[in-house]
Structure 1
Amino acid sequence: MGSRRNGQHMHERNPDAADMTKPDRRSLSIAFGFERVGLIAMRAPILSCIILLAMVVGAVFGIQRITIDDSLSQLFRSDTKEYRQYEEVTRRFPSTEFDVLVVVEGKTLLERDNLEKLRDLVTDLQLVDGVRGLISLFSARQAPEPGKLPAALFPAELPQGAEYDHFIETVKSNEIIRGKLLSEDGTLALVVLSLEPAIVSDSKLKATIGQIRQVMNDDLGDTGLTKELSGVPVMQLEIRNAVERDGIIYNVAGILAGCLIAIVFFRKVSFMVVAAFPPLLAILLSLGVLGWANFSLNMFLNVMTPLIMVISFSDSMQLTFAARDRLIAGEDKYSAFRNAVLVVGPACVLTHATAGISFIALQFSNSDLIRSFGEAGLLATIIALLAVLLLVPAFGVLLVRDERRFSEKFKTADWGVQALRRFCAWIAERMVGRPGFFSVLALLVVGGLAVVYASLEPRYRLADQVPDKEQAVAASGRLDAKLTGANPIDILIEFPAGETLYSPQTLATIAAVHKLVEEQAGVGNVWSIETLRRWLAEKAGSHDVATLKEYVSVIPEHLVRRFISEDQTAVVVSGRVPDRDSSQILPVVEKLDRAMDAVRTAHPGYEMAVTGLSAIAARNSASMIEKLNHGLTIEFVLVAVFIGLAFRSVVVMFACILPGIFPVVLSGTLLWLLGEGLQFASVVALTVSFGLGLSATIHFLNRLRSETGPGVGAGKAVERATVLMGPALILTTVVLACGLVVTVFSDLPSLRLFGWLSAFAMVAALVADFLILRPTAMWLITFAERFRHGAVAKPAE
């Protein structure tokens, strides 16, 4: 009852603002004095702003240097044998990375008029700038006559009537195109355009894809057929466009959210500038440094803008709030902002440090992309800390005017803050009333959620990297449904010394691998030089190598390079698989690799490897996600120890564990309920959110440290720290969540997941701060005091 009366008394009056920002009773700073960096700019604010202006100009030039990494393989880019092998195949057989897939579908596809227009489309597509060749159903040939090259399957003038119907049946049964370029039911046709490699990596790609779309619309506009584009170049362009568009949305939304919340809360433009502009300048400076450091924007780095915003805005709000209360108490602006830096600054340093540890934890990933994200995040965290510590007090002493009038006005008109303080006091009273009960309850809840979290399975799909509101994903889905899949899987065959492409042993090896891949469940649309050999044997009755050589020599170079390396020392057998979860593709890859052992034994000296982006993703995604998840578990311990050392307190170390873990396991449970599993975006979001979510915990513990002293009970200290810090913690959490939730506007599924999950984790962290940290901290403080005095209180009789 005593603690409740104390709490009621506290929120019935306005707490002395001077108490809120009084210097810490402890002589040792939890930031080891680093917060005093913030006092430097206060001594020469005008000079500091001039230096800032010069840095902003440099940052603008740095931002212009930022490029976009739109490679679909970026997530798996690493210094592993599998990835180096994949890169080698891509270099020697440049096809998949440069293929645009034109998907035309409709029940009337093979009607005479539509077929004529489809042929016109294929002819016109060959004239598009950057197209070096194509494959379509019109590439098919008739059975060759002895001594002659085979004639085209499609005559110059299509037959009519009954002859046309018979001709269409012939087309649908053609071994070369059936199930590969034309679906079994004759309702979907695939045209494969091979682009010049220079076009794909150049800004001209957008113009080339635009031309292809225009030709499609012109030639097929009145046919009633659906027409869509897919393939790696199209996906890369859509990723590039989405990254550029998202960057604009994040910047604008972040700026508006920060300014709006600051102006509503502080109700003065000067304080809005003091609170909101340092985070905005932190974004600008961080992106500039990333540009000068040659970082490229990608699916993860694109979220750096809202991350910088939430990291820096949280602490700038805390500093501004503290200085504002000091001004209301009647102090001059120099003293107010100086004390804000000295009292709140150490917690700001520590919150940025824990966020930095989260980014450091990402360095344990095998993915170059995720490690790069971690490096960029760590760099941005350091810049954000310096921006907040230096700019908030500098802007404060420059912009705040007429402190006395401000103090008189807000002493009687600060209803918003008082309402939040009354709410915080109401929560604190109930939490400290039964700390043991709520601590045990929190332990049980977190333990139960952790069990559910542990059951999450890794998941990965290529489509998660690609905008799902554009054509590429839809077109790939149609290929999955009608032509066994859009994602290639390759078997690389390298010849031993002394063997050539046309030697009997080599041809026998290729034939064995081709047959094995065809028979593998889940793999279809298989192509290799064996496809040509079989066709010649069946249609022309030719089995001799000379005929095979002749046909290979007349095939366009870009087609030959799909299956035969330029030096003719290696070939690939290429198939396609649907874009399913990696857990479904992995058994196919592993079974195929095991089945290849029999061929390796029968043909010693020939090196065979299952590769391709689908194989790389299936093999590596689960282990990479699990490794990140294990890193997060280790991070729990490291961060707790780090905070304990900073506060020089075992009590603090244990107090921050449950509230730190709660948002992670609760978010994981939500993923489990939604059937999402653990994806790259979700585990990275939880790793980063853990570090960011501890911001409220650290600021509260820092305040509690100041409130704890001789003659002050644990309950009273917890309640007073809650009332003093609570309003700013609530508002900053709103800023954190708003800053991250803007990613739901992204066209990239992975970024949408990252955004809403991070925002949810932020809110969960606030809940943990109020409902878990308060009673846990009080129980631990009480227990520690009893332990120190060597007595254990007996239960009341």
Structure 2
Amino acid sequence: METSRSKQPRPGSPRTSGSQSIALGLERIGLISLRFPLLVGLTTIVLLIAAGFGLARIKVDDSLSQLFRSDTPEFKTFEEVTRRFPSNEYDVLIVVEGKNLLEHGSIEKLRDLVTDLQLIDGTRGIISMFSARQPPQGDALPAPLFPDQLPAGAEYDQLVQRVKNNEIIRGKLLSEDGQLTLIVLALDPAVVASSRLRNVIGEIQKTIDDDLAGTGLTARLSGVPVMQLEIRNAVERDRLVYNAFGFAAGALIAILFFRRLAFMIIGAGPPLIAIMLALGALGWLDFRLNMFLNVMTPLIMVISFSDSMQLTFAARDRLLQGEGRFEAFRDAMLVVGPACVLTHATAALSFIALQFSESELIRTFGEAGLVATLIAMFAVLLLVPLLGLLLLRNESVFAAEVKAADTALDVLRRFCAWIAAKMVSHPGLYSLLALFVVGGLGLIYANLEPRYRLADQVPDREQAVAASHRLDAKLNGANPIDVLIEFPEGKSLYDPETLETIAEVHASFEKQPGVANVWSLETLRRWLAEKAGKSDVATLKQYVDILPQYLTRRFISAEQDAVLVSGRVPDLDAGQLLPVIESLDKALDQVRMKHPGYKIAVTGLSAIAARNSALMIKKLNRGLTLEFLFVAAFVGLAFRSVVVMLASILPGIFPVVLSGTLLWLIGEGLQFASVVALTVSFGLGLSATIHFLNRWRQEERPDQDPAIAVERATVLVGPPLILTSVVLACGLIVTVFSDLPSLRLFGWLSAFAMLAALAADLLILRPTVTFLSRLARQMSRARLHLLEHEH
């Protein structure tokens, strides 16, 4: 065994028995480039041109509800409300704040602002404290709360007091301390869905800046359209950052360790081309970039760069052994290619596992990842040998130069040899320790609680989240929550039972702790009864008819067969919000029993998120647990070895449970982004395991201790495994530059899981496979001995 450590092993032969069987011969796709380089080159150029047009077709999906899109009755109700009451999805919330808000000069400027905002093309109505009216006098229509000519002195002070005490706006459009006001500007739905949204929001911002200049008031924008625009901008900006950083990281590492520009292009070129081809294909297939699909660039990079580096290293070793470039890349393809195919297959399984989610967004991410993985596999297998043939010349001169200047890789080889020797010295002990460590971390991981907040899906370095926080603090909530009331056949809007049902729902809504700013037709009805002493239906109908359509459509459907009671809740974690939703739903049961013909449903994005997020996260997590066993069985089947199957379980689970423990230690629960990151990282992290097992299987000899093959394989594949793991981490950690919290979480957690997978590969896989292999041989000899004894 000492001899094997002191002497550098020769790379395994492609003719080693069984080396091709794990990929069913699919690695031979790469040999096409060696036989028909011109054809493959021209095809690649054509596909790149087509991919360029596909890239131009990619659009951004900025919908906040996409994460919860499903076929469930709750989501269908939410979509129905959005269609019939087009308000919350198209409202820009303008939060104006300042200690001098209600001063004479500030009110004049604010009223000018409200007037100017209505003149912006693309808007369709506005609600503000200037919408409020005086109590009606007789049969005359009530006068505005703010007269055309503002009074001065004591009369103005009395006006301010009336404004603060007005039931319509107090606590809804004006904070109790009179220092914050909310202006709700409704946009045309066609604008929100188009590229014009950026220009309209920009015009709104410019109007605010111009009208409030010098007042000392601050104004921030929030609401779904603003959040959508910020998501859109962040996704587009992040895509540029990821592409640039991914290219730089891959190229730098390739140059540092290959020490040749040609090898840098061979190692980094196929992944970059894979990115172009995959994104182009997603564009042609009409996938839309969103918070998850935006990580597709670094994911393609890490999937393809890992195998590209493995193939390039293997070919480089053969060139240093004196082979020509054709033979070197052919042998590298036959030896390393099967593992490349299998790593892409396991990554594809990780994406397939996401298809079991109820979220359409996560399923779409899984579909896109599957497409990208297949494209990346073909790109690597075909382009690495192609570029090797085209770019390498004078192999003998290269071998002579590099052999004398391969210091960095020699250091890595010695480190790998030292680690392997330590790990195989007491394989049973280290395997037992690994089992206890993984089991302990698994217990901590099992205690992670699901977490979800709407703000995590929106850029947190922009104004929308800051404005929402101010609404949470001063008006008790920025996120809408609704109760839909649908009338039975034969019941009209002004039927006494309908009005009674609306009143009872409104009252239950108002009494619910955690809900504020409740509006409905009942708000108008109460105001008329209290201020005008009129509670007859005719007066109510008269006032509804004179109100602008954009205002009435917030609460009354166009067909007048349904109404909405709308409130606001703070942006809390779903676990904190769910009891509020369930308590409200339970309170409404009394109304449902009293009025059985009326359909009453609590809905809104906050309600959907609170109800579904925990369940969806738990299902994703269960899917990940099942994936451990499924992928281990898949790898074992591919290698046709129970030892391989069992050996791959602990190193596969370790990075996931360690990452989960880290989330637990920093007080983070399981979010959508973290579960998806762990699911994908599990598939990617198996790359190191598969490449090692592939080489170990080729180095194994029946007449030698399995530890010798473990050490040889570690020295051969260890350096590229370490380098590619660093590249994987670099390719994913770039997402920490994102403005989207969920994307930042995805990035750093995936990068951490990559490094944990490398640690598991070196410290768990080596002793485990040695121990299991020795045990299998002992059992085989014992069985053989028993059979001989019986005969």
TM over 0.5: yes
**Residue 265 of structure 1, CA deviation:** 1.1
CA RMSD of aligned residues (A): 1.1
After superposition, residues 446-465 of structure 1 pair within 5 angstroms as 446-465=438-457
Q: In the alignment, which of 2, 5, 9 is matched to residue 6 of structure 2?
A: 9
Contact 2:5 2:711 in 1 (8 A): no
Distance 1:224 1:450 in 2: 55
Q: Helix, strand or coil: the match of 2:782?
A: coil
After superposition, residues 371-520 of structure 1 pair within 5 angstroms as 371-520=363-512
| Amino acid corresponding to residue 77 of structure 1 in structure 2 | R
Structure 1 partner of 2:789: none
- Greater CA deviation, 25-34 or 353-362? 25-34
- Greater CA deviation, 331-340 or 103-112? 103-112
Structure 2 partner of 1:266: 258
**Residue 23 of structure 1, CA deviation:** 3.1
| Amino acid corresponding to residue 604 of structure 2 in structure 1 | G
Q: In the alignment, which of 678, 689, 692 is matched to residue 684 of structure 2?
A: 692
- Greater CA deviation, 721-730 or 153-162? 153-162
| Amino acid corresponding to residue 755 of structure 2 in structure 1 | V
**Residue 386 of structure 1, CA deviation:** 0.4
Distance 1:616 1:21 in 2: 58
Distance 2:75 2:213 in 1: 42
After superposition, residues 248-267 of structure 1 pair within 5 angstroms as 248-267=240-259
- The yes-or-no answer on 1:196 pairing with 2:193 is no
Structure 1 partner of 2:51: 59
| Amino acid corresponding to residue 215 of structure 1 in structure 2 | T
Structure 2 partner of 1:719: 711
Q: Helix, strand or coil: the match of 1:257?
A: helix
Structure 1 partner of 2:203: 211
Distance 1:345 1:449 in 2: 34
- The yes-or-no answer on 1:741 pairing with 2:733 is yes
Q: Helix, strand or coil: the match of 1:789?
A: helix
| Amino acid corresponding to residue 586 of structure 1 in structure 2 | L
- The yes-or-no answer on 1:350 pairing with 2:347 is no
Structure 1 partner of 2:114: 122
**1:598-620 deviation per Cα after TM superposition (whole angstroms, max 9, x unaligned):** 00111120000000000000000
**Residue 412 of structure 1, CA deviation:** 2.1
Structure 2 partner of 1:142: 134
Q: In the alignment, which of 12, 25, 39 is matched to residue 33 of structure 1?
A: 25
Structure 2, unpaired ranges of 5+: 786-791
After superposition, residues 260-409 of structure 1 pair within 5 angstroms as 260-409=252-401
**Residue 631 of structure 1, CA deviation:** 0.1
Contact 2:20 2:338 in 1 (8 A): no
Contact 1:7 1:425 in 2 (8 A): no
Q: In the alignment, which of 60, 63, 85 is matched to residue 68 of structure 1?
A: 60
Distance 1:521 1:792 in 2: 74
Distance 1:516 1:738 in 2: 53
| Amino acid corresponding to residue 564 of structure 1 in structure 2 | I
**1:654-682 deviation per Cα after TM superposition (whole angstroms, max 9, x unaligned):** 00000000000000000001111000000
**Residue 25 of structure 1, CA deviation:** 2.7
After superposition, residues 655-674 of structure 1 pair within 5 angstroms as 655-674=647-666
Contact 1:7 1:428 in 2 (8 A): no
**Residue 20 of structure 1, CA deviation:** 3.9
Contact 1:489 1:577 in 2 (8 A): yes
Structure 1 partner of 2:788: none
Contact 1:97 1:232 in 2 (8 A): yes
Contact 2:29 2:382 in 1 (8 A): yes
| Amino acid corresponding to residue 609 of structure 1 in structure 2 | A
Distance 2:602 2:627 in 1: 35
Structure 2 partner of 1:110: 102
Q: Helix, strand or coil: the match of 1:330?
A: coil
Contact 2:19 2:335 in 1 (8 A): no
Contact 2:413 2:718 in 1 (8 A): yes
- The yes-or-no answer on 1:526 pairing with 2:512 is no
Distance 1:587 1:732 in 2: 46
**1:687-740 deviation per Cα after TM superposition (whole angstroms, max 9, x unaligned):** 000000000000000010011113221111111111111000000001100001
Structure 1 partner of 2:606: 614
- The yes-or-no answer on 1:560 pairing with 2:557 is no
**Residue 6 of structure 1, CA deviation:** 3.5
Q: In the alignment, which of 582, 587, 604 is matched to residue 574 of structure 2?
A: 582
- The yes-or-no answer on 1:752 pairing with 2:726 is no
Q: Helix, strand or coil: the match of 2:489?
A: coil
- Greater CA deviation, 100-109 or 111-120? 111-120
Distance 1:205 1:287 in 2: 25
Same amino acid, percent of matched pairs? 68
| Amino acid corresponding to residue 239 of structure 2 in structure 1 | G
**Residue 178 of structure 1, CA deviation:** 0.1
**1:561-619 deviation per Cα after TM superposition (whole angstroms, max 9, x unaligned):** 00000000000000000000011111111111111110011112000000000000000
**Residue 791 of structure 1, CA deviation:** 7.6
Distance 2:398 2:15 in 1: 23
Q: Helix, strand or coil: the match of 1:610?
A: strand
**Residue 411 of structure 1, CA deviation:** 1.9
| Amino acid corresponding to residue 205 of structure 1 in structure 2 | L
Q: Helix, strand or coil: the match of 2:456?
A: helix
Contact 2:12 2:699 in 1 (8 A): no
Distance 2:591 2:40 in 1: 71
CA distance 1:792–1:188, change in 2 (3 Å)? farther
**Residue 76 of structure 1, CA deviation:** 0.4
Contact 2:19 2:338 in 1 (8 A): no
| Amino acid corresponding to residue 389 of structure 2 in structure 1 | V
Distance 1:7 1:556 in 2: 86
**1:219-243 deviation per Cα after TM superposition (whole angstroms, max 9, x unaligned):** 1121111110000000000000001
| Amino acid corresponding to residue 49 of structure 1 in structure 2 | G
**Residue 15 of structure 1, CA deviation:** 3.4
Q: Helix, strand or coil: the match of 1:194?
A: strand
Distance 1:6 1:710 in 2: 18
Structure 2 partner of 1:151: 143
Q: Helix, strand or coil: the match of 1:64?
A: helix
Contact 1:493 1:572 in 2 (8 A): yes
**1:326-356 deviation per Cα after TM superposition (whole angstroms, max 9, x unaligned):** 0000000000000000000000000000000
Distance 1:792 1:484 in 2: 76
Contact 2:95 2:182 in 1 (8 A): yes
Distance 1:45 1:28 in 2: 23
**Residue 67 of structure 1, CA deviation:** 1.1
Distance 1:563 1:78 in 2: 25
**Residue 416 of structure 1, CA deviation:** 1.1
- Greater CA deviation, 39-48 or 340-349? 39-48
- The yes-or-no answer on 1:89 pairing with 2:81 is yes
| Amino acid corresponding to residue 9 of structure 1 in structure 2 | S
Contact 2:735 2:747 in 1 (8 A): yes
- Greater CA deviation, 783-792 or 60-69? 783-792
| Amino acid corresponding to residue 661 of structure 2 in structure 1 | T
**Residue 28 of structure 1, CA deviation:** 5.2
- Greater CA deviation, 23-32 or 448-457? 23-32
**Residue 22 of structure 1, CA deviation:** 4.2
CA distance 1:512–1:212, change in 2 (3 Å)? same
**1:173-220 deviation per Cα after TM superposition (whole angstroms, max 9, x unaligned):** 000000000001101000000011111001111111001100111111
| Amino acid corresponding to residue 441 of structure 1 in structure 2 | L
